[in-house]
Structure 1
């Protein structure tokens, strides 16, 4: 089971990580724009942050996808970490 879980984690992390990184980078970038008084020029960054990718508008599901992604990473990473500690104690 541990090997299968590790393979699943490894396969899904890139799909999960990209939207989280987009949200992180655009959120920080827009906050910098707000602090410097340039928020109006950087509205497109806020649209990306919310999941509006011009061609595809995912605003209604993007926040849920990011939330579930964080829960997935947390749960699968924790399980893999706990199993690695158990395996080390057995050897």
Structure 2
């Protein structure tokens, strides 16, 4: 198995897991802002937005977790894009 294939497998398997908390944070923040603008209090959404999930409280580390996950998703995607361009350049006939 070549390196690009391994990178693609890792990216495809981990990105959905990494994207879940990022999407949850974006959705809870947007929904909280929309509800607040209409005068509806939904403080529980702010707790979810900051990483407090009932008995599991990740608030002290949630920003760090989101930052690392975002860098992973972006970095692995860029690495695949760059390695794909390199392999395309090698396979193109000389001009």
Superposed pair shares fold, TM > 0.5: yes
Q: Which has the larger helix fraction?
A: 1
1:51 aligns with 2:51: yes
1:64 aligns with 2:74: no
The answer for unaligned runs of 5 or more in structure 1 is: none
Q: CA deviation at 1:22?
A: 0.4
Distance in 2 (CA, whole Å) between partners of 1:54 and 1:73 is 27
Q: How many residues align?
A: 89
Query: Once superposed, what is the RMSD of the aligned Cα atoms?
Result: 1.0
Q: Cα deviations across residues 21-78 of structure 1 (Å, max 9, x unaligned)?
A: 100100000110121121x2x1111110011100211111111110001111111110
Distance in 2 (CA, whole Å) between partners of 1:82 and 1:43 is 43
1:16 aligns with 2:18: yes
Structure 1: 4+ residue segments shifted above 4 A: none
